[in-house]
Structure 1
Amino acid sequence: MDNNEQALATNELSTLPLDHNWYQKLASNFEIIQQYLDKLDTDKLELDDLKNKFDDMSDKINIYETNMQAIVNILSDYDVPIAIVDGKIVETKEGE
């Protein structure tokens, strides 16, 4: 636990009388917990944003690969000796 983090008073609640001090400690617990809930919400938004970016990049890669394959197919129809090898367009020898 960092020096900046606050500790929950949960362990003390069973020994405290039910007075105003008890209420303040209980309210303090919820304030501490709320900070972590807010951070979780922020982290989830960041993860959702990263997932959306990843999905967008995956879509673009799929479109790129599809277009590259279409170009190779068209050129192959005109007997241009090329093929896709390891994700790259390479010149092939006749008959390969």
Structure 2
Amino acid sequence: MDNNNQTLATNELATLPLGHNWYQKVASNFEIIQSYLNKLDTDEPEANNLKNKFDNMSDKLNIYETNIQAIVNILSDYDVPIAIVDGKVVEIKEGD
């Protein structure tokens, strides 16, 4: 069922007289909601794929940051005036 163009009957439900077929509108709301819940269930592999990509990027970022820190440490050992400040490699003045 494709409910992409349907909207939920929300505000109008409160104003319907009791004799009206309000239950059909409520049932329609549940059908629309169910179609989206079904879509969420089928998109689980895609969500897992995105999580794996994020984890991979996070791992690469950690490796990058570790490598930058190692480079700064090595250069500092040779008295190169640099440091990491607020996540950025900066040149420092003598005596800082």
Structure 1 residue aligned with 2:86: 86
TM-score of the superposition, structure 1-length normalised? Answer: 0.60
How many pairs align? 69
Alignment of 1:77 with 2:66, yes or no, is no
TM-score (norm 2): 0.60
Runs of at least 5 residues in structure 2 that lack an aligned partner in the other structure: 7-22, 24-33
> Could you give the per-residue CA deviations for residues 1-49 of structure 1, whole angstroms, max 9, x where no partner exists?
93878xxxxx9xxxxxxxxxxxxxxxxxxxxx8xx64x34431111100
Counterpart Cα distance in 2 of 1:69 and 1:3 = 50
Alpha-carbon distance in 1 for matches of 2:74, 2:63:
16
Hey, which bits of structure 1, 4+ residues long, moved more than 2 A?
A: 1-5, 39-42
> Which amino acid is 2:66 matched to?
T
SS in 1 for 2:84: strand
The one-letter code matched in structure 2 to 1:74 is: I
Q: How large is the Cα RMSD of the aligned pairs?
A: 2.8
Aligned to 2:3: 2
Counterpart secondary structure, 1:89: strand
Q: Which amino acid aligns with 1:46?
A: E
Indicate the percent of aligned positions where both proteins have the same amino acid: 73
Cα distance in 2, alignment partners of residues 3 and 45 from structure 1: 22
Measured in 1, the distance between the counterparts of 2:66 and 2:4 equals 54
Supply the AA of the counterpart residue of 2:49: D
Alignment of structure 1 residues 6-45 onto 2, 5 Å: 37=38, 39-45=39-45
State the one-letter code of the partner of 1:93.
K
Determine the C-alpha separation between the residues in 1 that align with 2:5 and 2:94: 71
Structure ID, larger Rg: 1
